[in-house]
């Protein structure tokens, strides 16, 4: 799929890198903390006997300091739970997943440093789309995903066939097509999300947990704050196109 090969966060550590521009995403990860802690508590208390080891994964981890945030929360929660129930520390296997074009170079070094700071933890990377199988059947205890599931597997086929973009610069055309575009993207999301759930259902152990968060809106009307950001991007792109910096047909 073209999107699997080309869409990824801006790598490295520079001014425009994802690593330096993702505090919003980190705030969302922190909001997920109690959900992850609850999932771990459920998982460990529900088992008749303590599992020998646990496998936790972040799906759509990206790169930079956020990449390890969710799995760190999970590892801390497992440690805390073992300590409170006076059990020896569980072995934890931590996996990070993203598309193969993600900048994994820094991720690899962070993973090894993380492992050195956490006894009984081993770490790895699973490259690939989360709209495909990533783990063997019944091998995953906890899967987390923050701000990633709005990335669809592809643009809706009905729009691609008719060459309808997600956002037409011409306001009149855009308004006229709004319902069609929103409907097509909503159906694509439903299809992709159903596939995501089916795949994870196979990969999770019996009683395994899935904690995901993603942005959304309640109505078909564009929400003010999103539209504001979106309009700014369109204005900048139109300005760049008018000055010949980028090709107008690509806007």
Binding residues for a second copy (CB under 8 A): 4, 52-53, 55, 91-93, 95, 100-101, 104-105, 108-109, 111-112, 115, 122-128, 132-139
Cβ distance to a second copy smaller for residue 11 or 32? 11
Cβ nearer to a second copy, comparing 62 with 213? 62
Q: How far is Cα 98 from Cα 111, in angstroms, rounded to an integer? A: 14
Tell me how far, at minimum, the Cβ of 12 lies from a second copy, in Å.
13
Give the chain's count of helices (H) and strands (E).
8, 5
Q: Which one, 87 or 242, has the nearer CB to a second copy? A: 87
Residue 122 C-beta: closest distance to a second copy, Å: 6
DSSP 206: E
Gap between the terminal Cα atoms of the chain: 21
Q: Kindly state the smallest distance separating residue 14's Cβ from a second copy, in Å.
A: 18
Q: Closer to a second copy at the Cβ: 128 or 165?
A: 128
Q: How far apart are CA 198 and CA 203, in angstroms?
A: 9
93 neighbors 124 (Cβ within 8 angstroms):
yes
Write the burial class of residue 57 (CB in 10 Å: 0-12 exposed, 13-18 middle, 19+ buried): buried
Q: What SS3 class is residue 42? A: helix
Residue number with CB closer to a second copy (55 or 181): 55
CA distance 35 to 187: 28
Least Å distance, CB 201 to a second copy, is 15
The single residue listed with the structure tokens 């959900």 is 35
Q: Which two tokens stand for residue 44?
A: 């460990």
Closest to a second copy by CB, 71 or 134: 134
Least separation in angstroms between residue 121's CB and a second copy is 9
Residues pairing with 209 in the sheet: 142
Minimum CB separation of residue 164 from a second copy in Å reads 29
């Amino acid at each position: 799929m073209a999107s699997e090969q080309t869409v990824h966060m801006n790598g490295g550590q520079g001014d425009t890198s994802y690593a330096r521009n993702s505090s919003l995403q980190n705030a969302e990860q922190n909001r997920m903390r109690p959900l992850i802690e609850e999932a771990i508590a459920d998982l460990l208390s529900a088992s008749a006997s303590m599992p020998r080891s646990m496998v936790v994964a972040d799906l759509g981890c990206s790169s930079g300091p956020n990449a390890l945030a969710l799995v760190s929360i999970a590892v801390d929660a497992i440690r805390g739970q073992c300590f409170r129930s006076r059990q020896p520390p569980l072995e934890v296997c931590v996996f990070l997943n993203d598309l193969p074009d993600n900048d994994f170079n820094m991720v690899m070094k962070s993973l090894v440093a993380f492992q050195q700071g956490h006894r009984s933890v081993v770490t790895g990377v699973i490259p690939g789309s989360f709209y495909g199988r990533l783990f063997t059947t019944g091998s995953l205890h906890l899967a987390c995903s923050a701000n990633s599931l709005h990335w669809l597997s592809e643009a809706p086929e009905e729009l691609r066939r008719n060459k309808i973009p997600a956002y037409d610069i011409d306001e009149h055309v855009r308004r006229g097509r709004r319902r069609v575009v929103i409907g097509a993207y909503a159906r694509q999301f439903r299809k992709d999300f159903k596939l995501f759930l089916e795949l994870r259902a196979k990969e999770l152990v019996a009683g395994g947990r899935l904690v995901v968060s993603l942005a959304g809106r309640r109505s078909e009307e564009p929400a003010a704050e999103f539209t504001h950001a979106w309009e700014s991007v369109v204005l900048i792109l139109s300005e760049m196109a008018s000055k010949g910096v980028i090709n107008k047909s690509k806007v």
